Structure 1
Amino acid sequence: MAQAWSTPVTDPVIDWLLASDPAIRWQVMRDLLDAPESLWKAERAKVDTEGWGARLLSHQDDDGQWAAGAFIPAGFDAHEWTEHGQPWTATCFSLSQLREFGLDPSSDRARRTVDLIGANSRWDEGGQPYWQGEVEECINGRTVADGAYFGVDVSRIVDRLVGEAQADGGWNCERANGSLRSSFATTINVLEGLLAFERATGGTPQSKVARRAGEDYLLKRHLFRRLSTGEAADKRFLCLCHPSRWRYDILRALDYFRAATLLCGAAPDPRLSEAIGHLRSRRLENGAWPLDWRPAGRVWFDVDDGVDAPSRWVTLKAMRVLKWWDAHLP
């Protein structure tokens, strides 16, 4: 018999989130409402067959890929990138979106997808098998995150990323072109991958050290400031973005630090407080948070109501970050 449970709070924003897609609902139940595991897992199981998850899976090719490409859709014309933005329909971005939706990695559909991609997908850059990784740290960070989530052995890619860390503690996908300084975007992509690897396997001593150094890179900069001048490194870092794709913003970083401290049992670092204050300031009068921007480019479908409108995805992440932060206030 199913366990009886009802929403323990009356909150119009929570009701609005629960009236959405299963991909949102199960995370609201787990992260905001502390629902019993059996109930949120039952809701998560619907991602396979209902809503956005099922819709994205319906676009999957017979060989397990999306858009017949690992990073770039088949037949892609570079003119499109210039005119309309980077396309987001190929395999790597579709997998990352399924991970965000919460497709159950133990489901038959997930296991079949992982196997087919391993057998059939090759990276555009050099023809490497998909689960062996590419060459850019940004791409490899997301591949580690996806692979670790879906139960793939990505330890070889992790070892490579550990060896590619910059002297300042972070990562930069322009390292191969001579860059000696890290970037916020590459660093958050790698950190998310290393955290997913640690959650799935326990990590290695080397991967744990590298992850802590990458965290320190962001924390020294209060998640958005230049270390040299104290100015915002990029004003867009303070804008709330979804889907993140490879992009960086403070909410993505805060959500990472929430997940990292929960895994390790640590308290939030006080250097996050400035970014937390900015996040609080962006809350709308109705209690939700807006979508400030989303990367342009080809998508299978949109999962938000548009720029400047209240966003369920941004609101979910903001609320769980603040719940975590406020739970540790003295």
Structure 2
Amino acid sequence: MLDWLLDSDPALRWQVERDLAGAPPEVWEATRARVATEGMGAQLLALQDPDGQWAGGAYFPADFDVHGPEAADDAGQPWTATTWTLTTLRDWGVDAAVLGDTAERLAASSRWEYDDLPYWGGEVDACINAYTLANGAWLGADVSGLAQWFVEHRLPDGGWNCEWVEGSTRSSFHSTLNTVRGLLSYERATGADDALRQARHAGEEYLLRRRLLYRLSTGELVGPWVTRFAYPFRWFYSALHAVDHLRAAALHDGVPPDPRLAEAVEVIRAARRPDGTWVQERRHPGRVWFEIDVPAGEPSKWLTFHGTRALAWWDGATG
């Protein structure tokens, strides 16, 4: 199994070396450096526009028609524009220095499709703002004002909802997970402050009170998507995506796994096949630069890495 995972693009291989194979830093750091010059990471970097964007747009490609057939509910959304490409490169461990003056170029030339707002100031969607916060901190942009936005827009139940601007007052699993991931990335890069750390912890508590799976009001599974695993995670919530974050948050905070993760961990364990792999259950539809992982129904190296790492962390800490 380990050899199969190691036989991967550098974007995945360095993480396998570090988190599963126990390779020394000089080994996985050398592999990580290759992400910018080989394979999928190099492909994405080569697609950058001269003005610093990808596909000519902030969240959507410049040629995307929000009223056309590509925008239909079953067509998915395009994943090629600047925000998604930056998020992918950051998740794959690309050194920010490789992107040079990208932060400055985006400040000068990129505007949100919503109200033509400046890129590093964010817009009104909590998920989009979370990606922007994390990407800005990574690239060295001043996103401190955007960080404060999350404190001001946290809902009374502890989380966030991208539909708040439409009047929603109840938090969303999807929006809250994306937000706490962004806050953790910002905290790692900048040190954050007590208000932001408390906001992140409140969002994580929102998910933990629901054991990552259930509606608090009825105890029912929050939705069928919670037990369906797909990579790339994108903005979609799943038990694996949530445990992946809470593992990272616990390691950052220096605390053991929260016992309320137990049922979500067992959902992940139940999805593992007898050969130790996890299967790609779907592909999120929409325009991509290229496919990152296998088609639905095939064993996924990315999901197998994330699933194996999550179980190793939980089992190692809980026995």
| Residue of structure 2 equivalent to 1:90 | 81
C-alpha displacement of 1:326: 1.4
Provide the aligned length of Structure 1 versus Structure 2: 316
Moved more, 14-23 or 116-125: 116-125
Native 8 Å contact 1:162 1:207 kept in 2: yes
Shift of 1:30: 1.0
TM-score, normalised via structure 1 length? 0.93
Aligned residue number for residue 10 of structure 1: none
Aligned to 2:42: 54
The 1-side partners of 2:190 and 2:304 are apart by 30
How far off its partner does 1:128 sit?
2.0
Query: Is contact 1:254-1:272 (8 Å) kept?
Result: yes
1:259 is aligned to 2:269: no
Where does residue 276 of structure 1 map in the other structure? 265
Contact in 2 for aligned 1:125/1:134 (Cα 8 Å): yes
Contact 1:144-1:193 at 8 Å conserved across structures: yes
Please tell me the residue identity of whatever aligns with 1:273.
Answer: A
Q: Structure 2 residue aligned with 1:126, among 96, 115, 124?
A: 115
2:279 and 2:24 map into 1 onto residues whose CA distance is 29
Q: Which moved more, 1:241-250 or 1:16-25?
A: 241-250
Residue 150 of structure 1 and its aligned partner are, at CA, apart by: 2.8
Q: Equivalences for 1:130-149 in 2 at 5 Å? A: 130-149=119-138
Once the 2 structures are TM-superposed, how far is the Cα of residue 114 of structure 1 from its aligned partner? 2.7
Post-superposition offset of 1:126: 1.9
The equivalences for 1:240-319 within 5 A come to: 240-319=229-308
Which sections of structure 2, spanning at least 5 residues, go unmatched? none
Letter in 1 for 2:252: L
TM-score scaled to structure 2, two decimals? 0.96
- Equivalent residue in structure 1 for 2:63, among 44, 67, 75: 75
Which amino acid in 1 is paired with 2:91?
A: E
- Deviation track 1:66-107 (CA, whole Å, cap 9, x = no partner) reads 1100011112123211162211111001111111221112x3
CA distance in 2, matches of 1:40, 1:237: 32
Q: Do structure 1's residue 63 and structure 2's residue 54 form an aligned pair?
A: no
SS at match of 2:168: coil
Task: Letter of the 1:101 partner, please give it.
Answer: W
Cα deviations by residue, 1:279-313 (Å, 9 ceiling, x for unpaired): 01111122111111221000000011111111111
CA distance in 1, matches of 2:28, 2:139: 19
C-alpha displacement of 1:168 = 0.4
Q: Over residues 124-161 of structure 1, what are the superposed CA-to-partner deviations in whole Å (9 max), with x where a residue is unaligned?
A: 11222211111111110111122223333321111011
8 Å CA contact 1:23–1:53 kept in 2: the answer is yes
- Name 1:207's counterpart in structure 2: 196
Percent identity over the alignment?
A: 49
Offset from partner CA, 1:41-80 (integer Å, 9 cap, x none):
1111111110000111121111111110001111212321
- Between the aligned partners of 1:299 and 1:256, the Cα distance in structure 2 is 24
Tell me the secondary structure at the aligned position of residue 277 of structure 1. helix
* AA matched with 1:179: S
Whether contact under 8 Å (1:244, 1:294) holds in the other structure is no
Aligned-pair distance for 1:195? 0.5
Structure 1 unpaired stretches of 5+: 1-12
Q: 1:115 Cα deviation (Å)?
A: 2.8
* SS of alignment partner, residue 279 of structure 2: coil
> Counterpart amino acid of 1:189?
N
Structure 2 residue identity aligned to 1:116: R
Secondary structure at the residue paired with 1:328?
helix
